[in-house]
Amino acid sequence: NAADIGVTGMAVMGSNLARNLARNGFKVAIHNRSVGKTEKVIDSYGDEGEFFPSESTADFVASLQKPRVAIIMVKAGGPTDAVIDELAEHMEEGDIIVDAGNALFSDTRRREAALREKGLHFVGTGVSGGEEGALNGPSIMPGGTKESYDRLGPMFEKISAHVDGVPCCTHVGADGAGHFVKMVHNGIEYADMQVISEAYDLMSKALGKPASEIGDVFAEWNKGDLESFLIEITAEVLHHTDATSGKAFVDVILDQAAQKGTGAWTVQTALSLGVPVTGIAEATFARSVSGSVPQREAGRAVLPAETQDLAVLDEASFIDDLQKALYAAKLVSYSQGFDEISAGAQEYGWDIDLGAMARIWRGGCIIRAKFLNRITEAYERNATLPLLLADEYFTAEITKCIPAWRRVVAFAAANGIPVPVFSSTLSYYDAVRAERLPAALVQAQRDFFGAHTYKRVDGEGTFHVEWSEDRRETNQDA
């Protein structure tokens, strides 16, 4: 009588994942470095299913059915490495170690390569949905070998969220692909959250609306194209009253947004791959701006607004514009995020089905949204779509939003309200559709001071101008 699967790390995520597995009929071995947490799970939830608690790693591994599957759910970084080493010591060829924490995909690639040497499968798995998702059905993004997925897939698909009967779990791709996709998912989440707060800010500052009324607007938006978990919880947060002060909850929160690093990873990775994820980058920097306390104090003390106040003539059409601008900015953020996944897949040799990624994000995860179906359909129409926005459906959708989007960005600029995601996504939109970009001048400057060469619009070859001599053009390929 052995366990089907084991989970080590009985903090909130690991214990919830173990309970989810047990509730779904799997026999689950559980373990935690300090024994108390394991005991607590048994005391509080032992009757939810069949648990096999162990105090030591050796006993934990011994309690697993072969080929063994052990999920690690501990603090990312050093602790994960320590637990991997301990598990590997007791495991045998063909066994599977799953890291379901939030690891950086390059760490996962390193760990996978090291364990492969020992004949073990290492599966970096993205898990989204927070504690609630882990317990009731998360979106699961496993990387690793196909062979390991044959063993893991049926269990993971069973405990994942389901939308229209379809599990929010699929094999993403080899080695670090799962953690890569989870990373980009989190980056998109940053952009979604920021652009929602920009819409809130405009309603608050330009319309002077109290939080609860803005909450009503979000609740209304949640019935249309924008229907999503983040819009839904935004409405709830805005309707919430602080128990201590009796004021709107959002109004008593210090305006500094923290971050745990996955947004920054998405942006750093995008920079090294050369993918312009401008919406995600601005959203990540917006959190940094909010936390730049001395700079904000200094700025607030002396910097004038010099606004050119535009009045809101019609509140209903202003709100309608915001809804459209929000949808457009969101489409750009997702399009950029999918570009990053596709660039990562190319760089690391992963065969990632982009449409399937949108499908497994429809439920369980933080960015779950109605419109993800449309992304899946777009990639079904064309699996190698170079730009999500260029899919016929999305082109038609964004076209309907453009005038409103421009009005929102212009209004915000004139009235001195920062809208980094609304405006950077619009700039990207205008850049990606432009016939010609001023990059020509940048390249000419590069050639001037650094002899970095250039190509011509009217012929093949690589050229350089002898700027400090007679300014003659030389063909570098000749």
Shortest Å, Cβ 185 to ligand NDP: 10
Least distance CB 127 / ligand NDP (angstroms): 5
Question: Can you name the residues that pair with 69 across neighbouring β-strands?
Answer: 96
Question: Half-sphere exposure of 75 toward its Cβ, with a 13 Å CA cutoff?
Answer: 4
Q: Give me the helix-helix angle, 146-159 and 12-23, nearest 10°.
A: 80
Question: Among 33, 162, 240, 407, which residue sits at the site for ligand NDP (rule: CB under 6 A)?
Answer: 33
Whether 227 is catalytic is: no
For residues 397 and 62, what is the distance between their CA atoms, to the nearest angstrom? 55
464 in contact with ligand NDP (CB under 6 A): no
Residue 123's H or E segment, with its range, is: strand 121-128
Closer residue to ligand NDP in complex, CB, 230/389: 230
Residue nearest to ligand NDP (CB): 101
99/391 with CB nearer ligand NDP: 99
Q: Let me know: does 153 contact 378? Beta carbons within 8 Å.
A: no
Burial class (CB in 10 A: 0-12, 13-18, 19+), 274: exposed
Task: Name the active-site residue from 27, 182, 209, 330.
Answer: 182
Cα–Cα distance measured from residue 333 to residue 282, given in angstroms and rounded to the nearest whole number: 10
Q: Where are the beta strands (DSSP E) in 195-259?
A: none
Site map 48..87 versus ligand NDP, x via CB under 6 A: -------------------------xxxx--x--xx----
Which residues in 61-94 are b (16+ Cβ under 10 Å) and which e?
bebbeebbbbbbbbebeeebbebbebbbebbeee
Nearest approach, Cβ of residue 19 and ligand NDP (Å): 13
Cis geometry, peptide bond prior to residue 304 (ω within 30 degrees of 0)? no
Residue 34 engages ligand NDP in binding (rule: CB under 6 A):
yes
Counting beta carbons within 10 angstroms of the beta carbon of residue 187, is it exposed (0 to 12), middle (13 to 18) or buried (19 or more)? Answer: buried
Measure the CA–CA gap between 176 and 160, rounded to whole angstroms: 20
CA–CA distances in Å: residue 28 to residues 21, 92, 194, 236, 248: 7, 19, 39, 36, 44
Q: Does 410 bind ligand NDP (CB under 6 A)?
A: no
Is residue 262 involved in binding ligand NDP (CB under 6 A)?
A: no
Q: State the minimum distance, in angstroms, from the CB of residue 102 to ligand NDP.
A: 4
191 is in an annotated binding site: no
18 assigned ligand-binding residue: no
Calculate the alpha carbon distances from 39 to 156, 299, 369, 400 in Å. Answer: 25, 53, 38, 57
Smallest gap from residue 11 Cβ to ligand NDP (A): 3
Q: Give catalytic status of residue 189 as yes or no.
A: yes
- Least distance in Å: CB of 64 to ligand NDP? 18
Tell me: is residue 190 an annotated ligand-binding position: yes
Residues 6+ apart with CB under 8 A from 316: none
Binding of ligand NDP at residue 40 (CB under 6 A)?
no
Asked if residue 14 binds ligand NDP (CB under 6 A), the reply is yes
Least distance to ligand NDP, CB of residue 40, Å: 10
Q: Which is nearer to ligand NDP, 53 or 215 (CB)?
A: 53
The residue within the footprint of ligand NDP, chosen from 13, 70, 235, 281 (CB under 6 A), is 13
Which x/- pattern, by CB under 6 A, does the window 340-379 give for ligand NDP?
----------------------------------------
- With tokens 């980009």, the residue in question is 184
Count of positions on this chain that bind ligand NDP (CB under 6 A):
23
Is 24 part of any known ligand binding site? no
Amino acid code (one letter) for 307: T
Partners of 141 in beta bridges? 126
Closer residue to ligand NDP in complex, CB, 56/399: 56
Residue numbers 101-140 binding ligand NDP by CB under 6 A: 101-102, 127-130
Q: In what order do the strands lie in the sheet with 69-72?
A: 51-53, 28-31, 5-8, 69-72, 96-99, 121-128, 139-142
Task: Decide whether 38 or 425 has the Cβ nearer to ligand NDP.
Answer: 38
- Residue positions in the annotated binding site? 9-14, 32-34, 74-76, 102, 128-130, 185-186, 190, 260, 287, 446, 452
What are the residue numbers of the active site?
Answer: 182, 189
- Residue positions in the annotated binding site for substrate? 102, 128-130, 185-186, 190, 260, 287, 446, 452
- Residue positions in the annotated binding site for NADP(+)? 9-14, 32-34, 74-76, 102
| Contacts to ligand NDP by CB under 6 A | 9-14, 32-34, 37, 73-76, 79, 82-83, 101-102, 127-130
